[in-house]
Every structure is written in structure tokens, then in C-alpha cells.
Structure 1
Amino acid sequence: MTPSNAPATATEDRLYVLTGTCPSVLGSVELVTGFLFQRRCYVTELQTFDDTEGKQFYIRAEFRPMDDIDIEVVRNEFAEAASRYDMTWQIRDSRRPTRCLIMVSKYDHCLQDLLHRYQTGHLNIDIAAIVSNHPDLQGLAAWHGIPYYHLPISAETKARQEAQVWHLIEQTGAELVVLARYMQVLSEDMCSKLHGKAINIHHSLLPGFKGARPYHQAWEKGVKLVGATAHYVSEDLDEGPIISQGVEAVDHSFTPEKLANKGRDIERLTLAKAVKLHSEHRVFLTGNRTVVFAGHN
């Protein structure tokens, strides 16, 4: 005999993600799980975090409707329930890919990796366009059938070039901008417009080596760790809220070129992880910090 509380089979292969944050109060978990249970929505994944320092609660729930429901009705009903807890929330269709615009200069390792993961379905994204201040990677974009925009930039044309980029973002409906080794600093105005919607990647070396040839500087100091950091873009260069980081050990046998190669490997993996976490709605941005719920590789 089948237990009466056994999970039913969904009428359609639908999967939604509910994310929410509210002050730390009793009943916030039941608010979400009870609401979904009452509407015969089966929770397939549930993650929570209570920030005892900030007195803030975070929750992410994936769920499948067991019946044929109107998701807009569900959203309206949850809005009423969530208001009693002062919860900021969203319910998204997880099948809908995140529309992306990728920016790149001449280094192609991160772009190549993102394109491969996109084509194989590892990333639930839709790459609307590739923008570069150099023409070098146009052939790669053409091979993948993705529009490529060569928008040169100089100190004199920076404002005009960024206006062109912003027009493309609006025109393509891009929800996320990925700086896949785009070797230009975005203006404060552009950073403000892209708050929480742009991810950058850069090397992470200790001590910090800035300027030209960082891996040569690192080799001269005999570094033993090479890493990379993916973060949201902010007005403070390379200091935005961190989404993911990667690190690997190296030793005296690594030449500057080998260090750079290892760094590029870590950069592409770390950036892909950050894009995946963002596109799966696992990242909560709170001030200059992030709450990141682990996903599946």
C-alpha cells in the first residue's frame, strides 16, 4: 500500500525556485514550507541560513507543483503571506535561462570555457552577445553563432563606449553581465547601473601583486599558492562582494609561464562556478557580503 503522504508525480516537468530574506523571527521556515505544502508543491531542495550577526534570515526552496496551478496566483498569495514577515522574496521558473552579455578583451580562456558549458547545457544561461574592445575573438563568437560587438575604448571615448554597452544590455534584455577577463575598468556610473548584475574574475595572489606581469612578480617572491576570485562588480576595483574563490598549491618548479597557466585554469573554473551559482539564484547580496548556498557541480 502506498502511504498517503507519498510524493505524487507532477503533472508537468515544472521546477520553481523561491528565494527570500527577512528579519530573524520564529516561523520563517514554516512560512515557506507550510505555504508550499498547502498548495501541494513538493519541495525538492531546501537551504536556510540565519545570520546571527546581522539578525537576518535567508531561505532558498526548489519546488514542483503536484497539480496544475497558476504560478501568478501563487506569487500573489505568497506576497500577502510574506508581508507579515517583512520578507523580500522572488519566485522564478528555474527552466528559464539567465540572459547574459559577456565582455572580454584578448584573453580567451574564460570565454572559451563559458561557451563550452553553455553549449553543453552545464550552465543555464542564454548568451545574447559578446562585447570586446578588441576584434581578436570575433571568429570564436561567429563559430558559436553569437553576435559579437567590437567596441574600442580609450580615455577619450570611454563614456561613449559604455553608453553603447549599456544600450546593448537593454536591447538584448541581458540580466547578467560577465566580465570574462575584460581588461578595462568600468566607470562608477556603470558599476552603479550593474549593481548585483555583473560578475568579474581576477587572479588572487598573496601577497597581492598589482600592475604588470603579476605572475612574474609572484615567481620572484616564490609564491606557494595561486588562486582566483569571482565577485560582483563594484566601484572599488577588484573588491566587490565575493561569490566564489579557487586556489591551488604550487612549488619552486613552476616557472612564471606555468604559474600563469595554472592561474588561467583556476580563473575559468572559478568564474564558471560563480555564473552557475548566480544563474541558479543561490547568491544573496547583502551590503558588501554575500550569502551563497552551495549548488551541484
Structure 2
Amino acid sequence: MTVTQETPTRTVTRESAPLHASLIVKGRDRTGIVASVGALLSSHGANIVSLDQYSDNPQGGAFFQRTVFSLDNPQAVLPAIEHDLRDRLTTDFELEFMVRDMSLPKRVAIFASKSDHCLLDLLWRHRRGQLPVTVAMVISNHPDTAEEVRSFGIPFFHVPSMGADKSAAEAEHLRLLRGNVDFVVLARYMQILSGDFIKQVGVPIINIHHSFLPAFVGAGPYAKAKERGVKLVGATAHYVTEDLDEGPIIEQDVVRVTHAHNAADLQRRGADVERAVLSRAVEWHSQDRVIRHGNHTIVFA
């Protein structure tokens, strides 16, 4: 196995709210949660910038809340806030929570194969400051996009993955990823990840695929779609689980097509939707707007 020898680096990108922090809360709904969170944050001098909440049943149903708040010195104050949140939310309300300094962009690794439309779109948006992430590396089972990726100043790793046994490639992936990334994006990475890899990587994985599944599986889905006379093509971004293409959905979109479009037209229009859907999913995940709940998501977009 040949692997490009580069060291993953963490760079700081421009983000929209350098002194903001996010708080995600979920658990059983009950009276007083929002008021308690607001009072606690206020006691530490935090100013709530935005607050979104959802309950599927106010009488003890599932409760979800995303709060963004500003602080003069997040790194100094957040540990005390987290300590008090643990006492208040975990002990008093039996809720789960996560608090994060949004001035530190999440680190992402992008996996790709030969198809480059989603990969290059993400890198372009990142360079333009539209995605509040640090792209730690790009990993591909083909060397085709190496020069284009490096032109963005991003480390590129070619890790071949051939044959039925993917264990060597996945071991190298884990070596590259451990401690270096907060999530992974499969930008049309045309390899199936093993359940063991998904467990060991220890971070969320986001995938993009055309919305023909499971109607048009296997090779040539757009040609099959054309044969059936479809009127819509689309894409789905979802979290990866051990159940292939059945993980919690983050975002979906479609575009209309007609009988006049050939298979190549469908593929081109589908690629446009894939780019848009994946970029939104990555942006929302990086901003802590997506809360997983069982096999579905609550998205405060």
C-alpha cells in the first residue's frame, strides 16, 4: 500500500461568530428547562443570541434545544458553565447536553474517489469562508484529485482500497484520523465502510447519495431512471450507520426533469443537487444544528 506521507495540520478558518458558544440539550420534556438554562447562562454573563427548541409532546415527550450565546472569553468561562450545567441539567432534569466553543472550527476529513464534484465544491466553499470548518485532510482511493486538492493547501492522502478485504486500507484510515478530526464526510466515496471501522473511528460520518435508492441500485442509476421516465432527481445527505444507506437523514432536495433530458442530463442535474445538499448538511453539522434522536434528526436550520 502506498500512502502519501504528509502530516495532518489544524488551521483556523474564518467563522461568523468568534466569541460564540453553542449548547445542545436533549431528553424528556418537563416544565422549567428553558428558564433554567437561560438563568444559568445569564449568571455567567452570557448573552443568548439565538434559541431554538422542539418537543414532540409537551407532556413528558422528547425535548430538544439549541442555544447560541456570546461570551467575552469563552475559553475561560465555558468550564464553569459546563460544570454548572452538569449539576443543573443532569441532576435536576436528567437531560443530556453538549456545550462547545464555536471559535474552534470542527475538523473534518473528506473521503473521495474519482468523482470530484462534491469534493471540490466543499473545498471551494471552505476557501470562501462559507463553511465554518477546518479541512484537516482529503483521503482518496484514487490519486486523480491530488493536485487539485493540494492547490487548496489541503493535505491529500492516497490510500488504495481494492478487493474484498478492506482491512489494510481501513487501518491506515484510522491511523490518519485518530485525534485529528471531529467528523468525516464521504464526498461520493465509492467504497462501503465496514461496521468495525464505523465503530472504531469514533466520530460522526456524513454521506451523500442520489435519492434513487433503493429504486435504482447498482451501476448506472441515472440510465435506469431515464428508462423509467422519472420526473424528479434528487440527493440525500445522512449519517452513516452499519445499516447501509439507512442512517438518520440530515437534508434532502430534488429538481424536476422532463422526457427531453437524457441520462447525462439527469446525472448533471443530480450532481448539482448533490453539491447543494451535502454542503448544507456539512454546514449545519458544523454549527451544531443537527441533533440525532434514534434513527432520525432534529435540524434547527
- Measured against aligned partners, the alpha-carbon deviations of 1:100-124 in whole angstroms (never above 9, x if no partner) come to 1110000000011000111111001
Q: CA deviation at 1:195?
A: 6.3
Answering whether residue 44 of structure 2 is matched by residue 39 of structure 1, we say yes
Answering whether residue 214 of structure 2 is matched by residue 227 of structure 1, we say no
The alpha-carbon distance between structure 1 residues 207 and 238, as it changes in their structure 2 partners (threshold 3 A), is: closer
The question of whether the paired residues in 1 share the 8 Å contact of 2:174 and 2:201 is answered with: no
Indicate the residue corresponding to 2:13 in structure 1.
none
C-alpha separation in 2, matches of 1:78 and 1:178: 31
The question of whether the paired residues in 1 share the 8 Å contact of 2:212 and 2:233 is answered with: yes
1:1-297 equivalent positions in 2, closer than 5 A:
14-52=19-57, 55-65=61-71, 70-83=77-90, 84-155=92-163, 157-170=165-178, 173-194=180-201, 197-205=204-212, 208-294=215-301
| TM-score normalised over the length of structure 2 | 0.89
The alpha-carbon distance between structure 1 residues 13 and 226, as it changes in their structure 2 partners (threshold 3 A), is: closer
C-alpha separation in 2, matches of 1:238 and 1:195: 19
Same amino acid, percent of matched pairs: 40
The question of whether the paired residues in 1 share the 8 Å contact of 2:107 and 2:182 is answered with: yes
The alpha-carbon distance between structure 1 residues 185 and 162, as it changes in their structure 2 partners (threshold 3 A), is: same
Q: CA deviation at 1:38?
A: 2.7
C-alpha separation in 1, matches of 2:134 and 2:73: 29
Larger RCO (alpha carbons 8 Å, 6+ apart): 2
Residue 205 of structure 1 aligns to a residue whose secondary structure is coil
C-alpha separation in 2, matches of 1:39 and 1:163: 44
C-alpha separation in 1, matches of 2:77 and 2:194: 42
Q: CA deviation at 1:206?
A: 7.5
The alpha-carbon distance between structure 1 residues 174 and 196, as it changes in their structure 2 partners (threshold 3 A), is: closer
Aligned length: 282
C-alpha separation in 2, matches of 1:290 and 1:156: 33
C-alpha separation in 2, matches of 1:127 and 1:206: 29
C-alpha separation in 2, matches of 1:17 and 1:288: 23
The alpha-carbon distance between structure 1 residues 107 and 134, as it changes in their structure 2 partners (threshold 3 A), is: same
Q: Which runs of 5+ in 2 are unaligned?
A: 1-16
Partner amino acid for 2:268? N
Indicate the residue corresponding to 1:4 in structure 2.
none
- Measured against aligned partners, the alpha-carbon deviations of 1:94-147 in whole angstroms (never above 9, x if no partner) come to 121110111000000001100011111100111111111111000111111111
Partner amino acid for 2:79? E
Q: Which runs of 5+ in 1 are unaligned?
A: 1-11
* Superposition CA RMSD, Å: 1.9
| More divergent stretch after superposition (63-72 vs 149-158) | 63-72
| More divergent stretch after superposition (265-274 vs 154-163) | 154-163
Q: CA deviation at 1:191?
A: 2.1
Residue 263 of structure 1 aligns to a residue whose secondary structure is helix
Q: CA deviation at 1:14?
A: 1.4
